[in-house]
Amino acid sequence: MQSIKDRFERYHFQWIENNAKQAVFPQGSEVIVNPVGTAPGFALQVDGKLVFVIPGVPSETQRMLPEGVIPILRRIFPQPVGHTLKQTIKTFGLGEGAVDKKLADVNFADLGVNVGFYPVFPENHVVLIAHADSREQAQKNLQKAQDEVTARLSDYIFSFGEQTLEEIIAEELTEKKLTIAIAESCTGGLIANRLTDVSGSSVYFERGLVTYSNEAKISMLNVPADIIEKHGAVSEETARLMAEGVRKISGTDLGLSSTGIAGPTGGTKEKPVGTVYVALADGSRTVCRHHTFRWDRKRNKLASSEVALMMLKNYLQDKA
């Protein structure tokens, strides 16, 4: 009880008596410490079965599993039975059904591997789990399965492992000693938010501007008014000038921009809801991509930020 109260005090949370139930556990249970939250978990043997109860908050579960649950399992089952290895393959540009269809001819069971598909919009992750008597055999099986997946999905794979798109970009920008500034319209700051989610982003991220209105694009990015009048705020011409403008005024190596129609209103026959342009400028050339998405406003914004970051990643890896 006191340790829970101490944690509430440390986190500056208000203590109420109802919180005391977090210190109540079944008789005979073993408490599992929560290193990042207030509610501990517990382990209990019931009718010869081992039951674990831990909070469902992802950030807490992710810490309690390796630090609390796994050590108990290893203590109770000290003799390892085989070896299990895991590989996550992250893809973008294909729906879950399309990924499944492309891999339908692979007999993962014959390879000694289990496969799972996990949508993390707008990405789709393929998770391979290999189990064998030896680590060497598990690694061999896993590599064979990974090769099969790569052969079918190579155009859509952007990461092998747990590294996020933002982390890959951070690594590339830092390694190449490049700086970047962002000018956003339809994504409303989401691209900048994702880039700065990575610790140490101040090394490469200079600024992010949300130039939502035409006036902001004109006054802050020096996009000529006649360009917007002629081609529209949602156009390749405007996207290019936004990227070039933010790079120039920020003095960075790169400028990245987004402009589009997130919806559900604002679309036209020529430019329906979901139309987006993203552009990347480096001083010598400007690359622009056009996409049309068919989701709701929130998902259109997220997908738009993803294609912008994917374009940046490809550029940094000399794939643009």
Q: How far apart are CA 234 and CA 271, in angstroms?
A: 8
Q: What DSSP state is assigned to residue 304?
A: H
What local confidence, expressed as pLDDT, does residue 24 receive?
A: 87
Residue 303 neighbours by CB under 8 Å, 6+ apart: 121, 122, 276, 291, 293, 295
On the 0-12 / 13-18 / 19+ scale of CB atoms within 10 A, 124 is buried
Topology agreement, domain 83-160 and domain 165-316: no
Q: What does R_g of the chain's alpha carbons equal in angstroms?
A: 25
pLDDT digits (tens, 9 = 90+) for 261-306: 999 999 999 999 999 999 999 999 999 999 999 999 999 999 999 9
Q: How far apart are CA 168 and CA 317, in angstroms?
A: 10
Is residue 109 scored above 50 in pLDDT? yes
Q: How far apart are CA 278 and CA 260, in angstroms?
A: 9
* Strand intervals (E) in the chain: 30-32, 41-46, 49-53, 83-92, 113-120, 123-132, 157-160, 180-184, 205-210, 254-260, 275-281, 286-292
Domain boundaries in the chain? 2-76, 83-160, 165-316
What local confidence, expressed as pLDDT, does residue 4 receive?
A: 60
**Amino acid code (one letter) for 96:** E
Q: How far apart are CA 3 and CA 203, in angstroms?
A: 39
pLDDT digits (tens, 9 = 90+) for 17-40: 776 787 788 999 999 999 988 889
> What angle do the packed helices 214-221 and 236-250 form, to 10 degrees?
40
What local confidence, expressed as pLDDT, does residue 19 receive?
A: 67
The CATH number given to 165-316 is 3.90.950.20
pLDDT digits (tens, 9 = 90+) for 144-185: 999 999 999 999 999 999 999 999 999 999 999 999 999 999
What local confidence, expressed as pLDDT, does residue 320 receive?
A: 47
For the entire predicted model, the pTM comes to 0.82
Is residue 78 scored above 80 in pLDDT? no
Check: CB of residue 43 under 8 Å from CB of residue 72: yes
Range 2-76 classified under CATH 3.40.980.10:
yes
Sheet with 83-92, strands from edge to edge, namely 113-120, 123-132, 83-92, 157-160
The residue among 105, 103, 113, 110 whose CA lies nearest residue 153 is 103
The CATH number given to 83-160 is 3.30.70.2860
Q: What DSSP state is assigned to residue 78?
A: -
